[in-house]
Amino acid sequence: MSHDERTFVMVKPDGVQRGLIGEIIGRLEERGLKLAGAKFMQIDEELAHEHYGEHEDKPFFDGLVEFITAGPVMAMVWEGADATRQVRQMMGTTDPAEAQPGTIRGDLGLDLGQNVIHGSDHEDPGANEREIDLFFDEDELVDWEKSDAEWVYEDV
């Protein structure tokens, strides 16, 4: 996959309240991913319903909307080789109690409802663009080249 695949990542309200934005950004940068856009924001109910629309018929939907709108989030777009898969691996499983040590959720998540981070689904090819388009206008994303790209990617 080309080194410029984009993926959507969000530090959820629990991660923001616990001061974990810097820790999470640091982990993504250390992995060689490149930040293309970031927005510290408060999600309203309408955006929450759009973002989590695929869960609308599930019993946990109302709680999910209530949680994601309870405080600010850090919405981000990251780029890198196979970025979506890399981020999903780094995040760990949805339930922090089952996530491996060394993953973001394994190290920082508290419980299933407060698992610190959201990332686009790597098994849904349209998830990245749909989520990026929901949270960012194209002019809010920066196309730039990291000076260490030749040390991170084989095909530069």
- In this predicted model, what pLDDT tens digit does every residue of 28-42 receive, in sequence order? 999 999 999 999 999
Is 105 annotated in a binding site? The answer is yes
**Which residues lie closer than 8 Å to 20 by C-beta, 6 or more apart?**
11, 108, 116
Backbone phi and psi for residue 139, each to the nearest 5 degrees, phi listed first: -75, -5
Triad 74, 76, 82: Cα angle to 5°: 140
Please state, in angstroms and rounded to a whole number, the distance separating the CA atoms of residues 109 and 58: 22
Strand partners, 76: 9, 38
Q: Which of 49, 55, 118, 122 is catalytic?
A: 118
* Residue 39 assigned to a binding site: no
User: Is 94 labeled as ligand-binding?
Assistant: yes
Give per-residue pLDDT as tens, 78-123: 999 999 999 999 999 999 999 999 999 999 999 988 999 999 987 7
Residue 5, exposed/middle/buried by CB under 10 A (0-12, 13-18, 19+)? middle
Q: Would you say 128 is a known binding-site residue?
A: no
Across 84-154, where does the E strand assignment appear? 117-119
All structural domains of the chain, each given as residue ranges with its CATH number in brackets, are 5-146 (3.30.70.141)
The pLDDT of residue 147:
86
Q: Is 130 annotated as a binding residue?
A: no
% of residues, the chain, pLDDT over 90 = 79
Annotation says 118 is catalytic: yes
CA distances (Å), 4 to each of 26, 28, 32, 34, 149, in order? Answer: 19, 15, 12, 9, 11
Report the alpha-carbon distance of residue 125 to residue 26 in Å, rounded: 26
